[in-house]
Structure 1
Amino acid sequence: MQIRLEKFDYHEGQHRYCVLNLSQTLFGEWCVEQVNGPLGAAGGQERRRYFPTQQSALEAAEQDRERHIKRGFVPIPVQLGLF
């Protein structure tokens, strides 16, 4: 599962993105990866958190998504490329 969120604040001059990715590791754990930073500029952050079950990882990803939406981010549909 992958969710992309973007925030455009023209008054503050902020254009930011956040990508939340939920995946399973080779060892069977579940990982929630969050990548965020400014759009069109260098910099940004990456954060990974590991969970023992898919349900707990999904709940954490949903909490992160809701927190970003409350801060003014908007979900953007992500289209994956064909292989």
Structure 2
Amino acid sequence: MQIRLEKFDYHEGQHRYCVLSLSQTLFGEWCVEQINGPLGEAGGQQRRSYFTSRESALAAAEKDRARHIKRGFVPIPVQLGLF
């Protein structure tokens, strides 16, 4: 699962993005990865959190998603390339 969120604040001049992804590791744990930073500029942050069950990882991802939406981010549809 992958969700891309973007925030455009023209008054402050901020254009930011956040990508939340949920995946299973090689050892069976679940990983919630959050990557965020400014659009079109260098820099940004990456954070990973590991969970033992899919349900707890999904709950953490939904919590992060809700927190970003509350801060003004908007979900953007992610298109996957064709193989």
For the criterion TM > 0.5, the same-fold answer is: yes
Runs of at least 4 residues of structure 1 off by over 3 A? none
CA RMSD of aligned residues (A): 0.3
Q: Which residue of structure 2 lines up, in the alignment, with residue 67 of structure 1?
A: 67
Q: Which residue of structure 2 lines up, in the alignment, with residue 41 of structure 1?
A: 41
Q: Percent of aligned positions with the same letter in both sequences?
A: 86
Cα distance per residue 1:15-74 (max 9 Å; x no partner): 000000000000000000000000000000000000000000000000000000000000
| Structure 2 spans left out of the alignment, 5+ residues | none
Q: Which residue of structure 1 lines up, in the alignment, with residue 51 of structure 2?
A: 51
Q: Report the TM-score, using the length of structure 1 for normalisation.
A: 0.99
3-state secondary structure, aligned to 1:40? coil
The count of corresponding residues between Structure 1 and Structure 2 is 83
Q: Distance in 2 between matches of 1:10 and 1:77?
A: 22
Measured after TM superposition, the shift of residue 82 of structure 1 is 1.4
